[in-house]
Amino acid sequence: MQHLVLATLAAALLATALPAAAQFQRPEQAVKYRQSAMSLQSSHMGRLFAMTRGSVPFEAKAAAENIEIIATLNKLQFSAFVEGSDKVGNTRSLPEIWAEKDKWTAAVAKSQDDVGKLLLAGRSGNLEQIKTAAGAVGQSCDSCHDTFRRK
């Protein structure tokens, strides 16, 4: 199972080396891709939050592995907000993503900065550092969703 996850992530990382437009032949593909990445990221955040909240025992190695996946998915999801993907498919993305590009870019940068700090905390193995960093990532996600996603 772990090999499958690592192989999938390796393939995804290779895909990010291509320009976003080259990755998606149709805007519908971009919507599906980013929704898949966000769904997986949410799953791994849930696993991490279960540990930080004490719902399951904290395991530094498992936390770090989940955080590594979160960091990869965070990069991947944003690569799929390509032109035209706001007008197709079943998406909850608001037009403000494209209309307020500077605000959107700042929100993405904030998210990626917070995930970078979470990655460092995960590598430390320190539960308190992970809790703090995970909370900041959760706030970044909520802020972006509040501004750029339909309810």
Residue at 51: amino acid letter = M
Give me the pLDDT at residue 5, please. 52
Q: What is the CATH superfamily name and number for domain 27-82+93-148?
A: Cytochrome c/b562 (1.20.120.10)
Give me the pLDDT at residue 3, please. 52
Nearest to 80 by CA among 151, 123, 27, 129: 27
Give me the pLDDT at residue 87, please. 87
Q: Which sequence spans correspond to the domains of the chain?
A: 27-82+93-148
Give me the pLDDT at residue 10, please. 47
Give me the pLDDT at residue 14, please. 45
Convert the pLDDT of each residue in 14-36 to its tens digit.
Answer: 454 444 545 788 999 999 999 99
Convert the pLDDT of each residue in 92-117 to its tens digit.
Answer: 999 999 999 999 999 999 999 999 99
d(C-alpha 88, C-alpha 81), whole Å: 12
> Residue 86 — pLDDT band, cuts 50, 70, 90?
confident
* First-to-last C-alpha distance (Å) of the chain: 34
